[in-house]
Structure 1
Amino acid sequence: MNWVYLGAAILFEVGGTTMLKLSNGFARLQWAIPALALYAVSFFALSLALRRIAIGVAYAIWSGIGIVLLAGIGAVYFQETLSWEKLFFIALILVGVVGLNLAGGH
Structure 2
Amino acid sequence: MEWVWVIFAGLFEMAGVAMINQFNKKRTILSLILLISAFGLSFFFLSLAMVVLPMATAYAVWTGIGAAGGVLVGMIYYGESRHWKRIFFLSLIILSAVGLKFVS
Q: TM-score, normalised by structure 2?
A: 0.89
What residue is the counterpart of 1:78 in the other structure? 78
Tell me, yes or no, if the aligned pair for 2:11 and 2:65 is still in contact at 8 Å: no
> How far 1:26 moved relative to its partner?
7.5
Tell me, yes or no, if the aligned pair for 2:7 and 2:65 is still in contact at 8 Å: no
Residue 36 (structure 1) aligned with residue 32 (structure 2): no
Of Structure 1 and Structure 2, the greater helix share is in: 2
What residue is the counterpart of 1:53 in the other structure? 53
Q: TM-score, normalised by structure 1?
A: 0.87
Structure 1: unaligned runs, 5 residues or longer: none
- Supply the RMSD in Å over aligned alpha carbons: 1.6
* 2: CA distance, partners of 1:27 / 1:94: 32
> How far 1:59 moved relative to its partner?
1.0
Runs of 4+ in 1 over 2 A off after TM superposition: 25-30
Tell me, yes or no, if the aligned pair for 1:26 and 1:32 is still in contact at 8 Å: no
* 1: CA distance, partners of 2:7 / 2:59: 12
SS state of the match for residue 81, structure 2?
coil
Q: Which amino acid aligns with 1:67?
A: A
Aligned residues with identical type, % of pairs: 35
What residue is the counterpart of 1:13 in the other structure? 13
* 1: CA distance, partners of 2:71 / 2:83: 11
Q: Which amino acid aligns with 1:51?
A: V
